[in-house]
Chain A
């Protein structure tokens, strides 16, 4: 039963990846002959100060976008779980960003963030005329914001579904005990959503490793290298700089980072399930 998935994954996922692994031990400009060169590419990659920086930016964007998206999605999910009709309409509007391609979103935000012709001019609010994509920290913030803009709807949808599953009786009991709304949220809603939170976090964290299109079109990793995450660093090395060897080494590192994170989150998921079984 596992075979169909395994075979197709081997053919179009693993074999190409082994190709990349193989290339990480060569020197290749992506155009001409491939020369085996042992650990040269790895040495170059691991001593390149660009690597720790790219790792740092990757984890920074991953952590901050998780930290921003999770409470927001939770809040919106709980809100949308309410029964009023207009909330359903809101949910439809929220969903639109998810349907747009990252390239389209990047083009849109580039235009809106233009200090001269963008939002600041449109709303007449001078404060909005910042050098959004020209200052490192601001650009990181912008990336996190846009990622959230794109994905919060999806995660609030998951939370909305989760909240609707919480048995009403639990809230009724809590109300009888005199617990307020805030107490109810922290003692019922949040623990009951644990599994949902883990699924949603997995999607966010692992998904963030593959952010490429958005950042590439929005900032191309800039200003300078402020938003240069691993995937962008790899693309710049390989496809801009014609160094397929080091680019492949970065790809392998990316896979290991992903594996580590996935295993970590699985462990968290496993713990959650155990506690549930105990509770049941």
Chain B
């Protein structure tokens, strides 16, 4: 029954494995790099997001590539959004990255670059100017780290849009706001009729952040918008503090629907408030349009949905044409992949990503691909009004800011979202918010 010392030693030798395991966590990685993504010889592996409508389009693109390149196929694997974030981090951390990494660009990409996990594509884009020129120039900002391009911009442009319910405006006899001052005047009018002025899926946090982003962009311009991400102390700039104060003022004035902190964006409850006539306005990503079309019944077809860029803020120095959101999505190549895998990936970028066929598929779902020269395709769509509006914003904005949570490094992004949540809860003051942010920015 009792176990001898010898048997104990027998499995004690298993322990040194830990050292090996830890060492393997490092950038050296096992030699079989890429096997995590399923090594396919000279082919490549590609992990991307599942879920409608993007999954089908991404898969179609892979299939088109594979039938054109039967010898260098790409093996795609899909993951749900939140699951993907965990999975990709584990895989890269363990040196098992897929060849092609789907991503959001910005701060996340920067952390890959700093760890030497992704391929520098600058010279490749230099040799393939045609590829570069068929994409929106604004989409390259979030793919660039320290002057070098590390990702292929892909998919669609997603500015944040101010949506409104035209019927509710008719009901109180008001016009869509021209300035932020108009918005403040509208708030009590809607509240008096028992209509929430703004819908907000406040539990999701990034939904709250969109407000702050527009206040900064309109008050201090894109210069301030960028500065708060890099410069220590920029959050306690008087203009910054004013933006934070405006946020809390709007909360206190009951600008947002009651119980907004309990509403999640992923269940679409925030969008339902708008199309079901319970809230008059909503700040949301351009992808929301497609959701309102498919879930809103007759709301969009009847022309009850209105949209505009966020209005100017009185006294602000920002350009009202500027916008914020996702300038694109991003595909990187793992630096650990073999030369053949990398070659396949580059061929995929060149010939398959945002091909005319793929562009059409995105447009059919009510989204604007980041390709240039799609005007005629956009005009042929049943959603042409909205699509042209988005295309106009994306091409006219002098500055297309990438959302802070994507642009910042992950540690700072987490602190930011955390503090935004507290700011909207009114549990911290603007000054405390600034102090908390100054601790993590620009160290």
Interface residues of A (CB under 8 A from B): 1-3, 6-7, 10-11, 15-16, 18-19, 22-23, 28-34, 107, 110-111, 113-117, 129-136, 219-220, 222-225, 236, 239-244
Contact = CB atoms under 8 A, between A and B. Distances in A.
Contacts of B385: none
Contacts of A15: 14-15, 17-18, 21
B27 interface: yes
Given A33-B26, A133-B262, A240-B413, 15 more contacts: A2-B3, A6-B11, A10-B15, A16-B21, A23-B22, A29-B115, A31-B117, A32-B117, A34-B22, A107-B267, A116-B257, A133-B203, A134-B260, A224-B422, A242-B411
B22 A19 contact: yes
Interface stretch (B64-72, B84-92, B288-296, B371-379): B84-92
A92 B139 CA distance: 56
Interface in B354-376: none
A34 B261 CA distance: 38
Contact of B92 (A18, A31, A33, A222): A31
Contacts of B425: 134, 136, 223-224
A117 B273 CA distance: 9
A236 B414 contact: yes
Contact of B259 (A33, A134, A241): A134
Contacts of B411: 241-243
Interface residues of B, number: 52
Contacts of A1: 1
B421 interface: yes
9 contacts: A1-B1, A15-B21, A31-B117, A32-B27, A129-B259, A134-B259, A134-B262, A136-B425, A222-B203
Nearest to A242: B410
Given A131-B259, A133-B261, A133-B262, A31 B111 contact: yes
A129 to B, nearest CB: 7
B22 A22 contact: yes
Contacts of A11: 14
Interface in B1-34: 1, 3, 7, 11, 14-15, 17-19, 21-22, 25-27
Contacts of A19: 18, 21-22, 25
A113 B264 CA distance: 11
Main secondary structure of the interface of B (DSSP, over half): helix
Interface in B101-120: 111-112, 114-117
B278 A242 contact: no
B258 interface: yes
A7 B89 CA distance: 29
Contacts of A114: 262-263, 267, 269
A70 B263 CA distance: 32
A32 B115 contact: yes
Contacts of B278: 116
Nearest to B116: A32
B27 to A, nearest CB: 4
Nearest to B268: A117
Interface in B232-269: 257-264, 267, 269
Contact of A7 (B1, B11, B410): B11
A81 to B, nearest CB: 38
A240 to B, nearest CB: 5
Interface of B: 1, 3, 7, 11, 14-15, 17-19, 21-22, 25-27, 85-86, 89, 92-93, 111-112, 114-117, 202-203, 205, 257-264, 267, 269, 272-273, 278, 409-411, 413-415, 418, 421-422, 425, 427
B112 A31 contact: yes
Contact of A28 (B7, B15, B25): B25
- Between A18, A107, A224, the greatest number of chain B beta carbons within 10 A of the residue's beta carbon is seen for A224
Contacts of B269: 111, 114, 116-117
A135 B414 CA distance: 20
Given A131-B259, A240-B414, A34 B25 contact: yes
B17 to A, nearest CB: 6
A118 to B, nearest CB: 9
Contacts of B260: 134
Nearest to A237: B414
Contacts of B267: 107, 110-111, 114
Among B202, B261, B414, the one with the most A-chain Cβ atoms within 10 Å of its Cβ is: B261
Max count, chain A CB within 10 A of own CB: residue among B3, B93, B115, B413: B93
Given A29-B115, A223-B421, A223-B425, A113 B262 contact: yes
B273 A116 contact: yes
Nearest to B22: A22
Nearest to B260: A134
B258 A115 contact: yes
A133 B204 CA distance: 11
B93 A31 contact: yes
A129 B92 CA distance: 44
A130 B111 CA distance: 40
B266 to A, nearest CB: 9
B264 to A, nearest CB: 6
Contact of A134 (B15, B27, B261): B261
A29 B111 contact: yes
Contact of B261 (A22, A31, A223, A239): A223
Contacts of A116: 257, 259, 263, 269, 272-273, 278
